[in-house]
Amino acid sequence: METPDSNSVLVTGARGFIGRAVRKLLQRSGYSVLALDQPEVAAAGTAHFSVGPEIGIDITDREQLQTLFQARPIAAIMHLAAILPTMAQREPARATQVNVGGSLNLLEVARQFGVRRFIFGSSLSVYGTCPAEQVVTEIDRAAPEDLYGAAKLYVEHLGEAYRQAYGLEFVSLRIGRVVGAGARSATSAWRCEIFEHLGTATSAEIEIPYAESERMLLVHVEDVATMLVRLLQASSPTHGVYNAACESVVVGELKRELERLNPRLRVKLGARTVVGNPRQVDWSRIAVEFDMRVVPMFQQLASAAGLQHV
């Protein structure tokens, strides 16, 4: 077995919203990136390990993963692949196979082939629904309310077990609602539309399903990529779990700011409450340890609209 190159990183879920941003940042930072996604979404003709920038493998197939690791020395894994919440509720068996079984397979090949660090894209949904006034920290009790959050929490426990048993450097980033252009979300189109529609010269409508008084924890996809890469680059992270740097945004204020930035936009709000996630989060752990700062969400929106935030 070849010794892993310290710059070689396997990114799972590489065609996803976060995966694409992470790949770009890793490549700009000088890493050798192996981009992995399901065979049906990986680029045509790149299923062979020696060709092309993308690899088509289902992470539930451990033998294929072992073949890959035998062919390519890999120093670190950035695990972002998952069946997302809506689909997980519709297809619970498949979601468990991928989100838990696939993660276990990756942990096993990491152990078997001497991977140094394993960065896991977790979720703030591990905390479940929290009171509006509660600012959640990493030491607060996790109480997920759906399959997606429960799987994320279980994989965190698995990772900690592998750290204790085998010395794998497992680090988890708990991420909020990710927004930005290009999200391509079938169930939450507003996450990309709040950026993509700001430059419209004609009338456009964005539908956000939450009530005006509700709070949401939002984070821009490029900030998520930055945090994940910093966890990868750190000589020795102090903790195994970090809350992502998210901003608590009031839905009604978001509506008013979008319509102010572009009067052609109409933002239609729903009546839903925010469930399954906290509404406020303490991310001082990652801020202090990694000097992490993020541009305020309204400032990012103003920039997307080509305006100065006031």
Catalytic residue set: 148
DSSP-based helix, strand, coil % in the chain, nearest 5: 40, 20, 40
Among 309, 173, 298, 150, residue whose Cα is nearest residue 234: 173
Taking the C-alpha atoms of residue 156 and residue 173, their distance in angstroms, rounded to an integer, is 10
The DSSP-derived string for 121-186 is EEEGGGG-S--TT-EE-TTSPP---SHHHHHHHHHHHHHHHHHHHH--EEEEEEE-EEE-TT---S
Rounded (10°) CA dihedral 77, 106, 59, 5? 40
CA atoms within 13 A on the CB side of 267: 27
Parallel, antiparallel, or unpaired: how do β-strands 204-210 and 241-243 relate?
unpaired
Taking the C-alpha atoms of residue 111 and residue 161, their distance in angstroms, rounded to an integer, is 12
> How many H helices and E strands in the chain?
11, 14
Both tokens of residue 195?
Answer: 């950026």
